[in-house]
Amino acid sequence: MNLLLILGDVWQIFRSDRARFLLTLSGIVIGVASLVMLSGLLQGGQEALKLASQQATEDQLIKVRPAEVPEKQRNRTTRPLERSDRDVLAETASLHGAPVETEQQIHTEAYYRKARQWVTVVGAAPSTQALYELKVEKGRFLSELDVLAGARVAVVGRKVYEDLLGSPATLDGLNVTAQGERFAVVGVLKHQASLGGNQGPWTWDGRLLVPHSAFAAAYRAGRNVDRLFVRLALTEGLGPKLAEARGIVRETVKRRHYGVKNFQIEGEGEQAAKEELIMSIIQMLMLTTAVLSLVVGGINIMNIMLVSVTERTREIGIRRALGAARRTVLVQFLAESAVVAALGGLIGVVAGLVVTRTAAAALSLWLGQWKFHVVGWALASGLGAAAAVGILFGLYPAWRAARLDPSEALRFE
């Protein structure tokens, strides 16, 4: 079958009624565009959710927090989650030197002159900067000397610096008071975007980081900690390594707690299953939406091809009279239907990429972290599905054209 001849026939269909032709393509365009757009936005959304914890992604970070003692173990001796757990994990050879850190925090009001603001005071260490990939915009971060000396110094988030402290030109002599304890401000964190654009005290922009030694002394926190973190190197095939590392962390901490699991590793068990279920449901809804749009587009293509068969009845009769076989007519109309659908698929891919790019840019302004993604399988699937829909829904019109009686077709007006 001559491709140029098929393209010429498609061009004639377009010229005969351009509005009808474009409306026919709309279903295919919408279906393919929605597949490309939703797959790209879904992948960007997954990354945004991972980055919602201020750059400490779930792919790299193992988080341990205190939890209720299981009912069967409530009569057994145990110990709370504490800094000594961090020391043991840091020396565990099977973790290959992965950074380990703990976190203590309180939510309270901070004061500066007559201004006040709710903040989260965090007991931190120099390694906190690398653990969360934080950047300092002004001044410096906490040092080992600060920790050893229990220095009353603080690194503040961008919102604290601007709204509470008033964005002073210099940090010299700048102090902030939180729950009756005064800290000298030695650094300001660079703005850390958060999911949804929230700037509450729980984000890095609303935090006040002080040496954990000073935190423990100021707020009588002792050695108990609110969370413990282990950061793995981001490498290919991280999934199995992450599962193995979680197992090592779980068994090491459990052994130190006398076999009592009074802690929870975030991302394990039921929580991970729920997250996976949610993402699977979203993907299923995405594919269902695209398939329904493609079916509507297929019905439109069947309609325009039936009209084309009716309008070209005499042409079909002439071809059959000149010796064209039914198979030739069938293949011709099937090819035309596939080309029309593929054209709609191509337009849909381009439209989907444009919309995805625009949406990603808009979401980045609102949410702070939303990258533009081109999902290869969505592009290929969109084009392939469009062509398949064209062939499937073009079968009946092509069969009808092939079954026309040549003598009756020649008499058709």
Could you give the 3-state DSSP secondary structure of residue 325? coil
**Is 0.85 surpassed by the pTM of this model?**
no
pLDDT at 26 over 70: yes
Paired with 64 in beta bridges are 228, 265
Q: Quote the percentage of the chain above a pLDDT of 70.
A: 80
pLDDT digits (tens, 9 = 90+) for 70-80: 888 888 888 88
Query: Residue 91: exposed, middle, or buried by beta-carbon count in 10 A (0-12, 13-18, 19+)?
Result: exposed
Between 174-178, 179-183, 260-264, 373-377, the lowest mean confidence (pLDDT) is in: 373-377
Alpha carbon distance 361, 323 (integer Å): 58
pLDDT at 67 over 80: yes
pLDDT at 235 over 50: no
Q: Report the pLDDT value the prediction gives residue 402, as an integer from 0 to 100.
A: 80
pLDDT digits (tens, 9 = 90+) for 243-266: 788 888 889 998 899 888 888 887
C-alpha dist (Å) from residue 261 to 72, 231, 241: 11, 21, 22
Q: Report the pLDDT value the prediction gives residue 369, as an integer from 0 to 100.
A: 62
Helix, strand, coil % (nearest 5) of the chain? 60, 15, 25
Residues in the chain, total: 413
pLDDT digits (tens, 9 = 90+) for 127-150: 888 877 789 999 999 999 999 999
Q: Report the pLDDT value the prediction gives residue 168, as an integer from 0 to 100.
A: 92
pLDDT bin (cut points 50, 70, 90) of residue 156 is very high
pLDDT bin (cut points 50, 70, 90) of residue 211 is very high
pLDDT at 18 over 70: no
Alpha carbon distance 394, 342 (integer Å): 13
pLDDT bin (cut points 50, 70, 90) of residue 13 is low
Q: Quote the percentage of the chain above a pLDDT of 90.
A: 18
Q: Report the pLDDT value the prediction gives residue 296, as an integer from 0 to 100.
A: 77
Q: What's the mean pLDDT in 393-399?
A: 84
pLDDT digits (tens, 9 = 90+) for 267-311: 665 555 555 666 667 767 777 777 777 787 788 788 877 877 777
Which of the pair, 7 or 191, is modelled with greater confidence?
191
Q: Report the pLDDT value the prediction gives residue 58, as an integer from 0 to 100.
A: 44
Alpha carbon distance 119, 180 (integer Å): 14
